[in-house]
Amino acid sequence: MIGRTYLDPGDRLAGQYTPPRQCVVLVKWAPGGRGPRNVLVRYLDDDSRAVIPFSRRLRRAPQPALPGMEDL
């Protein structure tokens, strides 16, 4: 999870991002060991940082194709 790239589509409060913003997870934690996980992310487009709930908001970014695998 830490160091992975995810897509953040936004939320109802902050507004939707169209297209979703790419971000990298820097730190993760769960309050009291239970409940939703929160993560500190760095957005790749403007280098800003934010704390957001992980499971409700972030989606896995598509993995780039491996060289030579385009025709399969």
Question: pTM for this one?
Answer: 0.75
Q: Is 69 within a domain? A: no
Residues spanned by the domain of 25: 5-60
How many domains in the chain?
1
Place of tokens 């409940």: 35
Q: Is 52 within a domain? A: yes
Summarize pLDDT for 27-68 with one digit per residue, the tens: 988 777 677 788 999 999 999 999 988 877 888 887 766 666
- pLDDT score for 25: 93
Q: Is 14 within a domain? A: yes
Q: Is 66 within a domain? A: no
Q: Is 72 within a domain? A: no
Exposed e or buried b per residue across 59-70, where buried means at least 16 C-beta atoms within 10 angstroms of its C-beta: eebeeeeeeeee
Query: CB of 52 within 8 A of CB of 58?
Result: yes
- pLDDT score for 70: 53
Q: Is 65 within a domain? A: no
Q: How far is CA 43 from the centre of its chain?
A: 8
- Stated as kind and residue range, the H or E segment containing 55 is helix 54-57
